[in-house]
A and B are shown apart, each in its own frame.
Chain A
Amino acid sequence: MAYASSDQGAYSHPTPVGIKILVAGGFGAGKTTMVSSVTEIRPLRTEEHLSEPGAHIDLTDGVEHKTTTTVAMDFGRITIREDLVVYLFGTPGQRRFWFMWDDLALGALGAVIMADTRRLADCFASVDYFECQGTPFIVAVNCFDGAKRFPEGAVRTALDLDPDVPVVLCDARQRASSRDVLIALVEHAINLLSLDPGYVSPAR
């Protein structure tokens, strides 16, 4: 099995393999839309201590003594089989949320970075993070109505992506389009494996 049990004597039901996929990106880039177009979403709350230097940057006057913050993620699940479940976590992409990403990225299959071509700079932090972590990722350009269409190469250059990082265009409102983005990520992860059979997504 893919799970190492820390205890014995559990019920004998098959324990599902849970696979994590992260959906990151800037505010309003379409993370929630994407996750909700492929599955039912629920909010998942996390309450964290603001202990790192810089974590207080966003706090406004008068709340500088606040030491915890609640962040809600979009959480969805796709049951592939009874014993194989994909969990989607839509997370804010800004650098100040990195503290929660460590938890998410550990052992994740990979990440989709949602990009809005009107605000490509919002993706920088996410790209940096997943590059540093060695987490497989792809960039999904959400083609908003009225937004100027950029060729894939222009997005790649603007984000300074490695040549092997896929850039796909999508419409996050469309189930089929969002599904294809997820498939592109899994295919990318498979490609990385075949390039380097020893490749291991960041492990604990």
Chain B
Amino acid sequence: MSPAADRWLDGDAGPVVRPYALTGGRTRPSGESFDLVSMVVAIRGSRADPLGLEPEHLVVLHRCRLPISVADLAADLDLPLGVVRILIADLREGGLVAVHHPVPMRLTDPRLLREVADGLRKL
């Protein structure tokens, strides 16, 4: 591959304009990552400083007044998961949302799994 072509690869290619324009070209969230079923919830009493926040941040913030999963947020907003994760990480850094991480160990609880099976039977 020619050196000229190399410039257009990966980080050298600069920000991915669409849809990562929303995130200032960042493609990885800050801090620890979230699972697809991590639950995001707005922190009561926190005040969003509109400076430095994109309209999409505010939309996310609005959506998580009740706990909502990362996957639900991405599907609701029709944004790629990667973008939504970055927006959530920004809000968490700003102390505006809390992120609850699933503890997979819980899946060792047969009682919980039976509740899931029973719930499915009612479908």
Give residues in A with beta carbon < 8 Å to B.
Answer: 2-20, 38, 42-49, 51, 65, 67-68, 70, 75, 77-78, 80-81, 84-87, 89, 103-104, 106-107, 109, 175, 179, 182-183, 186-187, 189-190, 193-194, 197-204
CB-CB under 8 A for A17 and B35, given A2-B102, A78-B120: no
Q: Contact at B103–A2, with CB atoms within 8 Å? A: yes
* Chain A proximity mask over B92-114: 1 for CB below 8 Å, otherwise 0: 10010111111111111010111
12 A-B pairs with CB atoms under 8 Å apart are: A4-B101, A6-B101, A10-B67, A11-B66, A13-B66, A15-B41, A18-B38, A18-B102, A45-B74, A89-B36, A107-B104, A179-B123
Q: Which of B80, B108, B113 contacts A70 (CB 8 A)?
A: B80
Alpha-carbon distance between A7 and B32 when the two chains are bound, in angstroms: 12
Return chain A residues, CB-CB under 8 Å to B103: 2-4
B79 within 8 Å of A by Cβ? yes
Asked if residues A87 and B37 are in contact (CB atoms below 8 Å), the reply is: yes
Within 8 A of A (CB), among B3-25: 5, 8-10, 13, 16, 19-20
- Say whether chain B's binding surface is mostly helix, strand, loop, or mixed: mixed
**Contact-residue size bin, chain B (C-beta under 8 Å from the other chain):** 35 or more
Find out whether the CB atom of A6 lies under 8 angstroms from the CB atom of B100.
yes
Chain A residues whose CB sits within 8 angstroms of the CB of B112 once the complex forms: 2, 17, 84
Q: Are B39 and A3 in contact (CB under 8 A)?
A: yes
A46 in contact with B98 (CB, 8 Å): no
Contact of B8 among A12, A46, A65, A103 (CB under 8 A): A65
For B42, the chain A residues whose CB sits under 8 A away are 10-11
CB-CB contacts of B49-66 with A at 8 A, as 1s and 0s?
A: 000000000000000011
Nearest-CB residue, chain B, relative to A14: B67
